[in-house]
Amino acid sequence: MPAQPWVLLALFATCALAAGVLTWLVLRLLHRHAILDHPNARSSHDRPVPRGGGWGVVLTVLPAWALIALVAGEDRFIPLMAGAVLLIAVSWRDDLVHLPAGLRLAAHAVAVCFGLYALPGDAAVFQGLLPIWADRLVAGLCWIWFINLFNFMDGIDGLSGVEATSIALGVAAVAAVAGFGDRVSAPAVAMAGAILGFIIWNWHPARIFLGDVGSVPVGYLAGWLLLTLAAAGAWAAALLLPAYYLADATLTLARRLLRGAKVWEAHREHAYQRAVQAGRSHASVSLLVLAVNVVLLALAVAATLLGGGGAAVLVLVGAAITLGFLKLLSFQTVTEA
């Protein structure tokens, strides 16, 4: 039986409060131990800021998801959360002592293998277009890319918080209208609440950053929510909800590949970074992304209700809006620089 709306609201509020308090405690510890992100030529901040605020998020989300799994009797969550724990451990080490890219990527791949087991065994992410073994292989590769792009895009105050909250609330909304049940909506609501609790501390001027210990596991769990939507048939929503992050990260990577740049190195070439360099504040760029995400969320819900050809048309509309938004940021860069 689906949870009553007040139960989901209580879950959201509890996770927001818990993450807010935990992030405050983590902030104090990071200051005490001088675990700071210092400005460099590729960063978008001008002062040292504590790095590792993701601890407040993951220490909220994982217990909440474990409780949801216990209540729902979902043992498939166990390998998913094992993968998240692995990513937390590796990513925190990377925050403290830079790890080789190959080691980080191997950890991502192992975690994704764990997480794929948490998808319904006979549900095809690519809607039956591929045999199930190929479906899982391609889904896994897409998931690894999503984890990394989420990490790449965590570059200005508030942006990843806005994106993660938008995706999580969008997943919950789609699950509600499609009748997917609490197995999808409850984890999404818990994540949205936890991210909101963190945003309070990360909004411009940020007092703390997620760090890899936050951006990598959050990207991993958000990716699982999106794959779950696709496996349940809501493929259009799974494409629309993260459309801005997908487009900005993927197109930037493609441009860098074409000119032979070292794509694994940090840079300041994403559209949101160029907008900040052109004079826009972190807050204004994050709010613009939020506005686009609200439109994409509405399209995702509408596509879920329409299905079929109507869903495909709305995906194209969402793609056009997203590309137009990227052009807008680029246009502002040219005119304001």
Tell me the mean pLDDT in the region 147-158.
93
- Domain with 232, as residue range(s), is 5-336
Question: pLDDT digits over 19-44, tens only?
Answer: 999 999 999 999 999 999 887 656 66
DSSP string, 255-268: HHHHTT--TTS--S
**One-letter identity of residue 262:** K
Determine the distance from the C-alpha atom of residue 257 to the mean position of all C-alpha atoms in its chain, rounded to a whole number: 23
Nearest to 115 by CA among 90, 151, 95, 86: 86
Q: What is the model's pLDDT at position 260?
A: 82
Q: What's the pLDDT band for 277 if we cut at 50, 70, 90?
A: confident
Tell me the mean pLDDT in the region 166-183.
94
Q: What is the model's pLDDT at position 156?
A: 92
Q: What's the pLDDT band for 157 if we cut at 50, 70, 90?
A: very high
Question: pLDDT digits over 52-107, tens only?
Answer: 999 999 999 999 999 999 998 888 889 999 999 999 999 999 999 999 999 999 99
Question: pLDDT digits over 241-253, tens only?
Answer: 999 999 999 999 9
Question: pLDDT digits over 44-63, tens only?
Answer: 677 899 999 999 999 999 99
Q: What is the model's pLDDT at position 42?
A: 62
Q: What is the model's pLDDT at position 40?
A: 67
278: three-class secondary structure by DSSP: coil
Tell me the mean pLDDT in the region 276-292.
94
Q: Exposure pattern of 61-99 as b/e (b: 16+ CB <10 Å)?
A: bbebbeebbeebebeebebbbbbbebbbebbbbbbeeee
Tell me the mean pLDDT in the region 319-327.
96
**What total number of domains does the chain contain?**
1
User: Do 321 and 292 touch, CB atoms closer than 8 A?
Assistant: yes
Q: What's the pLDDT band for 325 if we cut at 50, 70, 90?
A: very high
Q: What is the model's pLDDT at position 41?
A: 57
pLDDT of 335 strictly over 50: no
Burial (CB count within 10 angstroms: exposed 0-12, middle 13-18, buried 19+), residue 218: buried
Query: How many other CB atoms are there within 10 angstroms of residue 322's CB atom?
Result: 23
User: Do 186 and 3 touch, CB atoms closer than 8 A?
Assistant: yes
Q: What is the model's pLDDT at position 115?
A: 95
